[in-house]
Amino acid sequence: MIVLACALTGIVFGLVFPYHIPSAYSSYVAIIILALLDSVFGAAAASTRKSFDLNTFISGFVGNGLLAALLTLIGRKLDVDLYLVALIVFGTRLFSNFSTIRRHYLALIVTKLKKKFCN
């Protein structure tokens, strides 16, 4: 629940205080945001499995962001699109975590509906 509150707070701050990101840094910011979203969705998925650990979340949040930025930086220096690797990995994990969350809540809804209409 705290993760959702923090995400909502971040969205509100982003809408209230808009900031222009220079195009030279846009690929870094995009990959970092994707990595951080992966951590948030991973935390939400772990929460549905009742295995959420704050230390794991914080280390993954910081580590994923730094790793994504580092891959993008190395790719730029080598003139290779390494940010695509991060994009594919974090994107795949993001969708996987989202499907875990979706299945969990869908099962809860179906269970509640069965109890309501079968009794």
pTM (two decimals)? 0.75
pLDDT tens-digit readout, 23-72:
888 888 888 888 888 888 899 899 888 998 999 999 988 998 898 888 88
What is the average pLDDT across 9-15? Answer: 89
What SS3 string covers the chain? CHHHHHHHHHHHHHHHCCCCCCHHHHHHHHHHHHHHHHHHHHHHHHHHCCCCCHHHHHHHHHHHHHHHHHHHHHHHHHCCCCHHHHHHHHHHHHHHHHHHHHHHHHHHHHHHHHHHHHC
Q: What is the pLDDT of residue 7?
A: 80
Mean pLDDT over all residues of the chain? Answer: 87
- In this prediction, residue 102 has a pLDDT band, given cuts at 50, 70 and 90, of very high
